[in-house]
Amino acid sequence: ETGVTQTPRHLVMGMTNKKSLKCEQHLGHNAMYWYKQSAKKPLELMFVYNFKEQTENNSVPSRFSPECPNSSHLFLHLHTLQPEDSALYLCASSRGGDLWVNEQFFGPGTRLTVL
Partner 1 sequence: QQQVKQSPQSLIVQKGGISIINCAYENTAFDYFPWYQQFPGKGPALLIAIRPDVSEKKEGRFTISFNKSAKQFSLHIMDSQPGDSATYFCAALMNLYGGSQGNLIFGKGTKLSVKP
Q: Which helix (H) or strand (E) holds 7?
A: strand 4-7
- Note whether 45 binds partner 1 by CB under 8 A: yes
Task: Please pick, from the candidates 2, 65, 72, 86, the single residue that binds partner 1 as defined by CB under 8 A.
Answer: 2
Q: How far apart are CA 81 and CA 74, in angstroms?
A: 19
Shortest spacing between CB 97 and partner 1, in angstroms:
7
Answer whether 27's CB lies under 8 Å from 3's CB.
Answer: yes
**How many residues sit close enough to partner 1 to count as binding (CB under 8 A)?**
28
Q: In this complex, which beta carbon is closest to partner 1, that of residue 41 or of residue 70?
A: 41
Percentages (nearest 5) of helix, strand, coil residues in the chain: 5, 55, 40
- The neighbouring-strand residues paired with 21 are 76
What string marks each residue from 51 to 90 as x (binds partner 1 by CB under 8 A) or -?
----xx---------------------------------x
Stretch that binds partner 1, among 14-22, 62-70, 71-79, 94-102 (CB under 8 A): 94-102
**At residue 35, what is the residue type?**
Y
Q: How far is CA 85 from the centre of its chain?
A: 13
Contacting residues toward partner 1, per CB under 8 A = 2, 4, 31, 40-43, 45, 48, 50, 55-56, 90-92, 96-101, 103-109
